[in-house]
Every structure is written in structure tokens, then in C-alpha cells.
Copies of this chain bind each other. A is one copy, B any other.
């Protein structure tokens, strides 16, 4: 008894399911790589952000799409471990800049390398195929 038009054709459902798998695997490998350095997923993400550039807590919250009060805790834990430090912003004394320490940058680099390795399923694809994939994903994300 088909009481509604199908929401999505078979092909679309198939692609959606595959994307679901990609997402699952991505997260799994991300957390695994983070765990190798005794970091949680959230901590790894923040450390990655800070490795290239110090930034105010507020901006981290926006990037993570979460409340600023949450960032306080994450930075607290990273700071305890000496991977990040809080510095005053000379231009605005309300602001605290979170900056990766030398140790933090080193850890972030190791993490990035683990991830590159983990993401190597892309090795299956030729250059042409990767280009095609890139363009399709771009379009899909609504360039």
C-alpha cells in the first residue's frame, strides 16, 4: 500500500547510504587517531584549529557551533595538558586568545599525519577519478 510518493528514488537512497558509511568511517578513524595521542575528538578538533593560528574563545565556539561555555572546558583540559595556553589579547582586554604551545603544535602535526594515513582509501582512485569526485562533492555542497 504505497500511500505517498516515494521520498527519494533508489539511486539517491543508495548514495545517501554510502555517504552515511563514509561519515561513520571518517568519525571512527578520527577518534581513533585522536585516541592515539590521548585526545578526545573534540579536543583534537580544537587543537587542529589552533595549530595554525591563535584565536579568541568566541571564534572557536562559532567554528564548533557550540556554546562558548563549552569551549571553556575543552580549553581547560587542553591547557592542563600543556598543549594550549591562554593569552591576553592586547587589543581587547575582555578577550582571551587560545594558542597552541610548541608541544601542542607538535601533537597537532602528528595527528594530521595519522589522519592522512587513515584517509588513504582515496588511494584507490586515480587522479582523474579524484578530480571527478572533488567536483561532484563541490557541487553537492552547493558551491
Residue-wise interface mask of A (1-44) relative to B, using a CB-CB cutoff of 8 A (1 in contact, 0 not): 00000011001101110111111011110000000000000000
Q: Are A137 and B19 in contact (CB under 8 A)?
A: yes
Interface residues on A, range: 35 or more
Comparing A71-79, A80-88, A94-102, A124-132, the segment that makes contact with chain B is A124-132
Q: Are B136 and A22 in contact (CB under 8 A)?
A: no
Residues of B within 8 A of A59 (CB): none
With A8-B116, A25-B141 known to touch, is A18 a contact of B125 (CB < 8 Å)?
A: no
Q: Are A15 and B140 in contact (CB under 8 A)?
A: no
Q: Are B122 and A16 in contact (CB under 8 A)?
A: yes
Contact of A130 among B11, B23, B26, B119 (CB under 8 A): B11
Residues of B within 8 A of A140 (CB): 22, 121-122, 124-125, 133
* Given A18-B138, A19-B26, A121-B140, 8 other A-B residues pairs in contact with their CB atoms under 8 A: A7-B113, A7-B117, A22-B22, A23-B23, A23-B27, A124-B139, A125-B136, A133-B133
